[in-house]
A and B are shown apart, each in its own frame.
Chain A
Amino acid sequence: MQAQPEQQEQQEIEPGQAIRSIGVRDLLAAAWAIFVKDLRSELRTRYALNALVLFAASAAVAVSLGVGFIGMRRTDEYLLIQSALLWIALLFAALNGLSRGFVYEEETRTMAALRLAAPAISVYLGKLLFNLALLLLLDTVTSLLFIVLVRVEVGSPLAFVLVLAAGGLCLATATTILAAIIARASFKSALFAVLAFPLLVPPLIVAIQGTALTLDSAGMTLALPAIRTLLAYAVAMFVASLMLFRFVWEA
């Protein structure tokens, strides 16, 4: 390794190149860069992926072997129980994996480098995108496992997918800001659970009831209020997070 002579130091980067006003496109492009970086890191470390998939698989297998819905009549209670079990599996898998974005940055001490380089809003959007991608995967894997192993029969597939997506949005928006808050705390898991409880229980109740309706053949009409409520919750949480995140990030 040779130190380079001073003449070769004069590279083409202009001094003070980063000093300029930042527009919305810049913020979104920076958020995309953070998302891509997190995705690349995740594919190499499997820090969250393994936990999410293993938890989903364990839950589906345990429910399948332990409860055994075969032969039971498809009453309203039966559908509610199946729906509740599905969302409990999704919730705990999400709580296991979705704090990864910020906690990993803190544990590997890369938070300071990111803080100096990236606008706060881009960090939040990038991490939210990453959590949404993880949750999409988690939703898909868990529901397929439940359909196969727990014999969940979906009466209205489109409504089922929409309720899952809307509930997933709620989980992702809430857990992203919570992860940012707890990242520098000493007892991360305990604090995450305590803070998540009041934020996630309301949308979870709506998601369980909405999903139960989609398992019946009642279809979209009956599930629509649940989908609307979940989307409204996700939007409210997203807007609140946008306003709050800068203070959390710079604290």
Chain B
Amino acid sequence: MEISLTVEELAASYGARTVFAGVSLQVRRGEVLVVSGSNGSGKSTFLRLLAGLQQPSAGIAVYACAGRAWAPREAGPIIGWVAPDLALYRELTARENLRFFADVRRLSLGDTEIDDLLVQVGLGGRGNDRLSAYSSGMAYRLRYAYALIHRPPVLLLDEPTVTLDTRGAEVVDQVIARQRREGIVVVATNDPRELRYADLLLQLGSP
């Protein structure tokens, strides 16, 4: 499947304060874009713009996938998003959460596939626990399951390993390695170790 992301003169601002402006780039299948910068430089905002969760103050971002163009706000079916400010339903179990998101996305997934997904993110055997009983690291792993459930061609990862232990970071390595083969990845981070994922680097704010 062909997939690309084109960003032209993208800008974001909060009130009178411009966070970033004039960002132009292109990401193609098999490439990982790493967005780096200090706190407040707009990394998370950049990813929220790409996910269609926020509107830019100028410029455009557009995906080309499955023979058509997708504006970010309509690109839910092709995007997987993991971020510290993403939350799932704490009163539901991990399996109920994934079943719910599979249902609203109209995916025909069986229990085995959901269990496989939980195993893949290191939550095998904990699927029947409610999220309220999860540690922050476990909840973060479940966000990966949420983001991967529809096998999206575009994976947007904001602070991909925050709160994760070494094993969790290995899971992220594997997720990015596979996604690199199947689509594109955009990673926002200020952890220098995560620069190793980069095929393309976007530095926001003061370097």
B170 close to A15 (CB less than 8 A): no
Tier of interface size on chain A: 35 or more
A16 close to B120 (CB less than 8 A): no
Bound together, the chains give a CA A14 to CA B151 distance in angstroms of 7
**Residue on B nearest A109 in the bound complex, by CB:** B87
Interface code A215-235, partner B: CB below 8 Å = 1, 0 otherwise? 000000000000000000000
**Residue on B nearest A33 in the bound complex, by CB:** B103
The segment from B4-12, B88-96, B185-193, B195-203 that touches chain A is B88-96
Assuming the contacts A45-B91, A250-B73, asked whether A16 and B152 have C-beta atoms less than 8 A apart, the reply is yes
For residue A12, which residues in chain B have a CB less than 8 angstroms away from its CB? 112-113, 116
A135 at the interface (CB under 8 A from B): no
Give the contacting residue for B85; candidates A30, A109, A116; CB below 8 A: A109
A3 at the interface (CB under 8 A from B): yes
B107 at the interface (CB under 8 A from A): yes
CB distance from B141 to the nearest CB of A (A): 8
CB distance from A242 to the nearest CB of B (A): 18
B113 close to A34 (CB less than 8 A): no
B91 close to A41 (CB less than 8 A): yes
Assuming the contacts A12-B113, A13-B109, A13-B117, asked whether A19 and B66 have C-beta atoms less than 8 A apart, the reply is yes
For residue A109, which residues in chain B have a CB less than 8 angstroms away from its CB? 85-87
**Residue on A nearest B141 in the bound complex, by CB:** A1
For residue A113, which residues in chain B have a CB less than 8 angstroms away from its CB? 86-88, 101, 146
The segment from B14-22, B31-39, B74-82 that touches chain A is B74-82
Give the contacting residue for B76; candidates A6, A16, A44, A117; CB below 8 A: A117
A122 at the interface (CB under 8 A from B): yes
Which parts of A1-19 form the interface with B (CB within 8 Å)?
1-4, 6, 8-9, 11-19
For residue A133, which residues in chain B have a CB less than 8 angstroms away from its CB? none
Tier of interface size on chain B: 35 or more
A151 at the interface (CB under 8 A from B): no
B51 at the interface (CB under 8 A from A): yes
Which parts of B142-188 form the interface with A (CB within 8 Å)?
146, 149-153, 165, 167-168, 170-171, 174, 177-178, 182-183
Assuming the contacts A3-B167, A30-B106, A110-B87, asked whether A19 and B77 have C-beta atoms less than 8 A apart, the reply is yes
A11 close to B120 (CB less than 8 A): yes
CB distance from B116 to the nearest CB of A (A): 4
B58 at the interface (CB under 8 A from A): no
Give the contacting residue for A13; candidates B78, B106, B149, B153; CB below 8 A: B149
A112 at the interface (CB under 8 A from B): yes
Bound together, the chains give a CA A213 to CA B122 distance in angstroms of 63
B152 close to A18 (CB less than 8 A): yes
A108 at the interface (CB under 8 A from B): yes
B103 close to A4 (CB less than 8 A): no
CB distance from B136 to the nearest CB of A (A): 14
CB distance from B152 to the nearest CB of A (A): 7
Assuming the contacts A15-B1, A26-B106, A110-B89, asked whether A4 and B79 have C-beta atoms less than 8 A apart, the reply is no
For residue A18, which residues in chain B have a CB less than 8 angstroms away from its CB? 76-78, 105-107, 150, 152
B53 at the interface (CB under 8 A from A): yes
For residue B78, which residues in chain A have a CB less than 8 angstroms away from its CB? 16, 18-19
Interface code A11-49, partner B: CB below 8 Å = 1, 0 otherwise? 111111111101000100110011001001100110000
Assuming the contacts A1-B167, A110-B88, A113-B86, asked whether A118 and B104 have C-beta atoms less than 8 A apart, the reply is yes
A74 at the interface (CB under 8 A from B): no
Of the listed residues A14, A19, A34, A115, the one surrounded by the most CB atoms of chain B closer than 10 A to its CB is A19
Contact surface of A with B, Cβ cutoff 8 Å: 1-4, 6, 8-9, 11-20, 22, 26, 29-30, 33-34, 37, 40-41, 44-45, 108-110, 112-118, 122, 250
User: What 6 A-B pairs are tightest by C-beta distance, nearest first?
Assistant: A33-B103, A3-B170, A18-B150, A109-B87, A18-B77, A118-B104
Q: Could you pull out 19 A-B pairs where Cβ atoms are within 8 angstroms?
A: A1-B141, A1-B168, A3-B122, A3-B168, A3-B174, A4-B122, A11-B113, A12-B112, A12-B113, A13-B113, A16-B151, A18-B77, A18-B105, A22-B106, A30-B105, A40-B91, A112-B81, A116-B51, A117-B76
